Amino acid sequence: MDFNPSTEDDKREMLDRIGVDSLEDLFSDIPEELKVETDLIGEEGRTELELKDEVHGIAQDNEKPGDRLTLVGAGLYDHFIPSIVSHVTGRSEFYSAYTPYQAEISQGTLTWMFEFQTEISELTGMEIANASMYDGGSSAAEAVLMAQEYLDRDKIIVSETLNPRYRDVIETYLPLEEKQVIELGSRNGRIDKNELKSILENEGSIAGLVVQSPNYFGVVEDLAGLKEELGDAFLIVSTNPVSLGVLEPPGSFGADIVVGEGQPLGNPISFGGPLLGLFATKKEYLRYLPGRVSGKTIDREGNEGFVMALQTREQHIKRERATSNICTNQALNALAATVYLASLGPSGFRSLAKTNWDRAHYLAGELEKISGVDLVWDQPFFNEFAVEVAADADRVWEAMKEEGIDLLHPKELRQLGVDDGFLLAVTEKVKKEEMDDFVDLMRGEVN
Amino acid sequence: METIYDKSEAGKQGTAYPEDRFSEDEPGEELDSDLFRNEDPELPEVSQPELIRHYTKLSKKNYGVDDGLYPLGSCTMKHNPKPMEDIAAKERFSGHHPLASADVVQGNLKLAYQLGEYLKDIGGMDGITLQPAAGAHGELTGMLMIRKYHAENDGLDQRNKILLPDSSHGTNPASAAVAGFDAVEIESNEEGTVDLDQLRQAVGEDTAGIMLTVPNTLGIFEKDITEVAEIVHEAGGLCYFDGANLNAFLGRVRPGDIGMDITHFNLHKTFSTPHGGGGPGAGPVGVKDRLVPYLPVPTVEKNDERYEFDYDRPESIGKVNSFPGPFGVMVKAYSYIKALGDQGLRDVSGNAVLNANYLKEKLKEDYRVAYEGLCKHEFVLSGSDLGEDVKTVDVAKRLLDYGYHPPTVYFPLIVKEALMVEPTETESKESLDEFVEAMKEIAREAEEDPDLLHQAPSDTPVGRLDETQAAREPVLRWEEE
């Protein structure tokens, strides 16, 4: 395929106008010895038909998603996406635009950004939200950097119930000194508040605590009293936004920053990306906020419109003194979330959360009836939970895979102290019969 | 500007969910009362017909590359091929979880692996990570690898400075700073290229590396690049190559062949994936052998005929993304590379440079060109000698009235009143000629009726917006009036 529209005659005319003989002459300023002489990839181009045949063929090497039941979550969740979402994001006025630097012809993007910021503020119970970060992990890392910068302190407490991948990203973003991250342990699936107390008493220069609710095990953390304990150190809460249809938002517990993975809001899992980092905070920290925000203003006639606000925080102006290096973010994924939330509305959103709660609790209840399968924690959970099995979990995992059921590999929980266990995520897409079949298979495997 | 909240009316809903319940458990009863949400978040209440009309209306207040020429310098706003959109949307690609068994997702792993191989070939690199979600994320990844490299070799305390030409992209110094380096700017010479004498002065035992953008922001190829690399390497530093401008020499020059140790690729620029109004992008990073051990974990590997993630990378810098990267974007870039093949990839840079030089030749009749010689994929004009009190911003806003997205303005900073123009290879000669006509008209207006420019835009959904007010009294969310 070729996407250059000019004819050979056009090109000839253009070369004449420039005053060179050939395309190659246009590269005469590059020393010859720097140029490559061989082909790059050793392949010829393809027509659209050939291309589709070939690339669709690669897709055939995957199992067909609809043929399998997946109970894998661990931060990404397979929710139903109403058709309206892709019909909006599929409009090329949205997807083929750049960042809205020219506000007057970008009111579409800037308006939905403003809507998104409002929706995310509302979900999280926070005053303001930005227009997106890369993903849940990098949002958490940026929150840590912001807390350190605002308070000019270097240590950060990270709960061991935080998604371990997020913790990895935080540690990658904090390369300076190894002692910066202090791990907060847990008891019965929730953070250990006594241990927090003693860390705060014994360590100085604490910039904040990163805690996740529902946490990596699916357990709803009790956030009450944490901010009081932390004092001016930041309470940074990572959350699954869908859970906020039934859970009191982190803002109500005094969170300073709320982050999370926004993929569950109208975006496919897509093998791990593109994702959608959520970032919400308090107004008082506005000048420290990373990323883009849309703000309301007026034109010369007094008409309302939107612009990218507070650009002086950003890298293209502040360079090395910017609040973050982020530039391109996840705009189209944020648009999907905006439309998704607007389509659900408050009652649909609550109903979605309740349906998730219901399906996960049904499955947990049925599994618990099997002797040899137990919930790991006796704690409230949302749409994900951990079970321990009286069997070789690796063997069970293998057997389930053969039966067309995908589970998170038991090694994930083993690293966190559960020897033979599964972390099971259930969304509204999972049917009752599928769960019943899974329970029957599990019964067979354990007994 | 009406938002979806202004359309909201109690009792309306676009999407409902099943109300059947299988479990006895109710969140309101199971949760401690202070953990249960009693008050719903304020989300819009709108029906589906009203929703689609609202967003269709909003889309018409936007301008995308499908609407017309988008000569935004440094951003490579080229055509987004439609087949790639359809291919990436296939559920058989997008419907999988990255933590599923490798047996289930051999196709996805194969595609990611092969894309990595293509990018290594295109960049002349030995290793690749597909994790970074954007160009700046790739830069940060590269900086963290440089950190780790020095920490494991020379000791980090010593090597804490990253050198950057003052003409570099803003993300460069910001990425160096986030990685904990001191960003040290070095002045460019008149051509915007690196002054070798100055560079020799600047390097030393504290040099961690240099970040280079080639062609530089004036659209000029850094002809002394191998000398630059030698000077930096001799001082013990590493060379980072900002790949944002790869469209200028795709298939002709490979960063890895000319002394560069690390480069990132902007799949959403060079490889035609849509910019999405500000993302999602993808910023894979290629490295030379000595940096391969530090690549983020996991990488995608091929063992015999099986593809899998490799988590066993003890020297890795760690993860920069919770999951293995923006796969949906990778599918589009992979398809693009395959659609074009070797000759097509080479023609991309040929035609991009042809379009840029043609446009420059025609525009220089009415505008001052910052640098006279051959440009690569973009060039810089100056709005400094137009009519009385006419500024570059006025030209940009007047272009909106002519139905164009303007060039990048006020960048690079080293050119007064800069207009940075990048037409890309997907514009026809006719399209360029029409743009020249509009620019000529504007130059004439600047002389004869400058107020037309000062008052512009007049033919857009809103007039020139007050950014100062937005910063002074930030209103960042909808509130009921």
Q: What is the 3-state secondary structure (H, E, C) of chain A?
A: CCCCCCCHHHHHHHHHHHCCCCHHHHHCCCCHHHECCCCCCCCCCCCHHHHHHHHHHHHCCECCHHHCEECCCCCCCCCCCCHHHHHHHCCHHHHCCCCCCCHHHEHHHHHHHHHHHHHHHHHHCCCEECCCECCHHHHHHHHHHHHHHHHCCCEEEEECCCCHHHHHHHHHHCCCCHHHEEEECEECCEECHHHHHHHHHHCCCEEEEEEECCCCCCECCCCCCHHHHHCCCEEEEEECHHHHHCECCHHHHCCCEEEEECCCCCCCCHHHCCCCEEEEECHHHHHHCCCCCEEEEEECCCCEEEEECCHHHCHHHHHHHCCCCCCCCCHHHHHHHHHHHHHHHHHHHHHHHHHHHHHHHHHHHHHHCCCCEEECCCCCECCEEEEEECCCHHHHHHHHHHCCEECCCCHHHHCCCCCCEEEEECCCCCCHHHHHHHHHHHHHHHC
- Find chain A residues with C-beta within 8 A of B21's C-beta: 358
At CA A429, angle to CA B40 and CA A376, rounded to 5? 80
Which of A114, A135, A331 has its CB closest to that of B321? A135
Which of A100, A307, A362 has its CB closest to that of B278? A100
Which of B43, B326, B400 has its CB closest to that of A122? B43
| Minimum Cα–Cα distance from A363: chain B residue | B23
B residues 72-91 lying closer than 8 A (beta carbon) to A = 72, 75, 77-81, 83, 85-87, 89-91
- Find chain A residues with C-beta within 8 A of B361's C-beta: 17-19
Mean predicted confidence (pLDDT) in A179-183: 87
- Find chain A residues with C-beta within 8 A of B412's C-beta: none
B18 at interface of A, judged by CB pairs closer than 8 A: yes
B302 at interface of A, judged by CB pairs closer than 8 A: no
pLDDT 10s digits, A185-194:
999 999 999 9
Domain A65-80+345-446: give its CATH code. 3.90.1150.10
Whether the pLDDT of residue B157 is over 80: the answer is no
Q: Which pLDDT score, from 0 to 100, does residue B85 have?
A: 98
- Find chain A residues with C-beta within 8 A of B144's C-beta: 172, 175
Q: How confident is the model at residue B156 (pLDDT cuts 50, 70, 90)?
A: low
Whether the pLDDT of residue B162 is over 90: the answer is yes
List the single range of A256-260, A315-319, B227-231 with lowest mean pLDDT.
Answer: A315-319
Mean predicted confidence (pLDDT) in B404-433: 95
Which of B3, B13, B347 has its CB closest to that of A347? B13
Q: Which pLDDT score, from 0 to 100, does residue B166 have?
A: 84
B275 at interface of A, judged by CB pairs closer than 8 A: yes
- Subunit contact B99:A72, Cβ cutoff 8 A: yes
Whether ipTM > 0.90 holds is yes
Cα A121 to Cα B176: distance, rounded to the nearest angstrom: 31
CA–CA min distance B460, chain A (Å)? 6
Cα A184 to Cα A157: distance, rounded to the nearest angstrom: 6
B95 at interface of A, judged by CB pairs closer than 8 A: yes
Whether the pLDDT of residue A364 is over 80: the answer is yes
- Choose the mutation target among A2, A3, A163, A174 for the interface with B, i.e. most B CBs under 10 Å: A3
List the single range of A371-380, B143-152, B162-171, B398-407 with lowest mean pLDDT.
Answer: B162-171
Q: How confident is the model at residue B22 (pLDDT cuts 50, 70, 90)?
A: very high
CA–CA min distance A160, chain B (Å)? 16
Mean predicted confidence (pLDDT) in A155-170: 97
Cα B138 to Cα B46: distance, rounded to the nearest angstrom: 40
CA–CA min distance A206, chain B (Å)? 19
| Minimum Cα–Cα distance from B219: chain A residue | A29
Beta partners for A212? A238
Q: How confident is the model at residue A178 (pLDDT cuts 50, 70, 90)?
A: low
Cα A382 to Cα B314: distance, rounded to the nearest angstrom: 35
B22 at interface of A, judged by CB pairs closer than 8 A: yes
Task: Count contacts between A and B (CB, < 8 Å).
Answer: 683
Whether the pLDDT of residue A170 is over 80: the answer is yes
| Minimum Cα–Cα distance from B222: chain A residue | A30
**Domains within chain B, CATH numbers bracketed:** 1-61 (no CATH), 83-339 (3.40.640.10), 341-468 (3.90.1150.10)
- Find chain A residues with C-beta within 8 A of B478's C-beta: 114-115, 118
- Subunit contact B95:A173, Cβ cutoff 8 A: no
- Find chain B residues with C-beta within 8 A of A406's C-beta: 97, 100-101, 104
Cα A5 to Cα A329: distance, rounded to the nearest angstrom: 31
Q: Which ranges constitute the DSSP H helices of B67-133?
A: 82-89, 91-94, 106-123
Q: Which pLDDT score, from 0 to 100, does residue A227 have?
A: 98
Whether the pLDDT of residue B414 is over 90: the answer is no
- Find chain A residues with C-beta within 8 A of B87's C-beta: 51-52, 55-56
Which of A52, A248, A339 has its CB closest to that of B83? A52
Mean predicted confidence (pLDDT) in A206-215: 98
The first and second tokens of residue B5, run together, are 């909240």
Give residue limits of the domains in chain A.
Answer: 65-80+345-446, 83-340
Whether the pLDDT of residue A39 is over 90: the answer is no
pLDDT 10s digits, B360-384:
999 999 999 998 889 999 999 999 8
Question: How much of chain B is in helix, strand and coil states, percent to nearest 5?
Answer: 40, 15, 50
Mean predicted confidence (pLDDT) in A53-77: 96
| Minimum Cα–Cα distance from B83: chain A residue | A48
Whether the pLDDT of residue B26 is over 90: the answer is no
A385 at interface of B, judged by CB pairs closer than 8 A: no
CA dist A167 → A104, A195, B276 (Å): 41, 19, 29
Which of B86, B296, B338 has its CB closest to that of A54? B338
Cα B457 to Cα A310: distance, rounded to the nearest angstrom: 22
- Subunit contact A104:B122, Cβ cutoff 8 A: no
Q: Which pLDDT score, from 0 to 100, does residue B317 have?
A: 96
Q: Report which residue type is found at A188.
A: N
Which of A6, A48, A299 has its CB closest to that of B464? A299
- Find chain B residues with C-beta within 8 A of A86's C-beta: 89
- Tell me, what DSSP letter sits at residue B481? -
B33 at interface of A, judged by CB pairs closer than 8 A: no
pLDDT 10s digits, B239-252:
999 999 999 999 99
The first and second tokens of residue B354, run together, are 């042809």
Q: Which pLDDT score, from 0 to 100, does residue A322 have?
A: 83
CA dist A113 → A106, A266, B478 (Å): 11, 15, 11
List the single range of A36-40, A352-356, B128-132 with lowest mean pLDDT.
Answer: A36-40
Q: Report which residue type is found at A134.
A: Y
Q: Which pLDDT score, from 0 to 100, does residue A179 have?
A: 61
Q: Residue B436 burial by CB count (10 A; 0-12/13-18/19+): exposed, middle or buried? A: middle
CA–CA min distance A400, chain B (Å)? 11
Q: How confident is the model at residue B115 (pLDDT cuts 50, 70, 90)?
A: very high
Which of B14, B21, B27 has its CB closest to that of A345? B14
The first and second tokens of residue B16, run together, are 């409902």
- Find chain A residues with C-beta within 8 A of B45's C-beta: 345-347
Which of residues B27 and A61 earns the better pLDDT score? A61
pLDDT > 70: what percent of chain B? Answer: 99
- Choose the mutation target among B97, B224, B374 for the interface with A, i.e. most A CBs under 10 Å: B97
CA dist B304 → B90, B298, B308, B370 (Å): 27, 18, 11, 54
pLDDT 10s digits, B42-96:
999 999 999 999 999 999 999 999 999 999 999 999 999 999 999 999 999 999 9
Mean pLDDT of chain A: 96
Is the Cβ–Cβ distance between B21 and B27 less than 8 Å? no
Among residues B212, B230, B234, the alpha carbon closest in space to that of B221 is found at B212
Q: Which CATH class is domain A83-340?
A: alpha beta
Residue B234 DSSP SS3: helix
- Subunit contact B466:A169, Cβ cutoff 8 A: no
- Find chain B residues with C-beta within 8 A of A101's C-beta: 72
pLDDT 10s digits, A384-439:
999 999 999 999 999 999 999 999 999 999 999 999 999 999 999 999 999 999 99
- For residue A440, give every residue at least 6 positions away whose Cβ sits within 8 Å of its Cβ, in sequence order, or none: none
- Subunit contact B322:A138, Cβ cutoff 8 A: yes
Q: What is the pTM of this model?
A: 0.97
